[in-house]
Amino acid sequence: MTITLERGVKSWASILDDNTRRQADVISRAPDVAGHVALMPDAHLGMGATVGSVIPTASDRIIPAAVGVDIGCGMVACRTDIESLDGVDLQALHHQISRSIPAGVASSHKRIVDRAEKWFQDNPIPHPTAFDGFVKRGARRMINRAKTQLGTLGSGNHFVEVCLDAEDNVWCVLHSGSRSVGNAIARVFIKIAIEEHRENRREKLEDPDTAALVGESFDRYIAMMEWAQEYAYTNREFMLSAMLDDLHRAVGKFEIEESINCHHNFAALEEHFGQTLWITRKGAIRARVGDMGIIPGSMGAATYIVEGKGSADSYTSCAHGAGRMYSRGAARRMFGEDSLSELMKGKAWNARQAKSLLDEHPHAYKDIETVMEDQKDLVETRAILRQTLNYKG
């Protein structure tokens, strides 16, 4: 299902509020956008750019606020050969995962683990002096923080889940990104983009966050952004490894039969409509023919494992989740602990933190079945997962 909202926006969202529509229209009119903006079914108002949008720019420029502050945020999922969780104490497993994978706004490991140090030796951060003046003690402090946070969950809608598919095969599913270092890279270069646009270009922007980077600043950002995407990918791999170790202790030996690791906040240089473009997916998965993806619903809802169909108009993209219906503040005002506990009945979850999780209440999100119906031309469903354990950041 595709709806053309304005000349510059194509939407797959049957549920779309006016503020989100207006934000997408503004982005589509930004001087550096090099084609239509594609809105996914989970589209909702975002910081810098609409969440659930796909934004093309020329090969020599990019909008850092569109990529966003959690560079490389995404999902990892793996299917095991475990056929049952009967007899497994899921709440005990939840507790163990919470010990193995630190979660929260400033969470980190107590020390730099050996594999994190090794990864940084093999993948040194480019242009670390960009952090000078942005954080106290500059690059050194930022890099040490990034090392201790490699293998940690973060907060907000990030989560770890143990799920079952229709055949009761056990899946491990995880959602996270590039933690503090990705946030810092984004904020440094969003500021640079806005300042350089004001100084060097004549076009007036409807929204300063649509400012693009060009020239030397563009080159530096691309290098750091791509590094942060690798960091986020590795962060998920480290956490998945820890989770699988915990599961092994709970159920015994098992094998991994399938694994998927995909970004949904990222940019990549791609060919579309005969042009080489930077395609920024802010809350969208790449869904070329054969690409596998992970689309979670809200807490308590189903997660979909999908295969891309390669839709040209969507820049070979699809939704990354259910998408918010209500802001975090509105959700905290509207919903209560009792209704959240009722919806999570029968699952192992952070029940003691129910009050602090009201902004993640399932009713704050769009219906995942509607989102999937809206994008039948973008992806094919390969498996539907139901949660047995949910650990939130």
Which residues fall within 8 angstroms of residue 274, CB to CB, at 6 or more apart?
Answer: none
Q: How many CB atoms lie within 10 A of CB 134?
A: 14
Helices vs strands, H then E, count in the chain:
10, 15
- In angstroms, the CA 162 to CA 243 distance is 9
Are 59 and 289 in contact, with CB atoms under 8 Å apart? no
- In angstroms, the CA 81 to CA 254 distance is 6
Check 44, 158, 175, 320 and give the catalytic one. Answer: 320
Order the strands of the 303-308 sheet from edge to edge: 256-263, 74-80, 170-176, 159-164, 379-392, 303-308, 292-296
Q: Residue 204 gets which letter from DSSP?
A: P
Are 63 and 210 in contact, with CB atoms under 8 Å apart? yes
3-state secondary structure of 137: coil
Q: How many CB atoms lie within 10 A of CB 132?
A: 13
Cα angle 115-118-122, degrees, rounded to a multiple of 5: 135
- In angstroms, the CA 261 to CA 235 distance is 11
Q: Write the DSSP assignment of 36-86 as a string of letters.
A: PEEEEEEEE--SSS-EEEEEEEETT-B-HHHH-SSTT-EEEEEEES----T
Q: Catalytic site residue 361? A: no
Q: Residue 375 gets which letter from DSSP?
A: T
Nearest to 384 by CA among 292, 294, 283, 258: 294
Catalytic site positions: 320
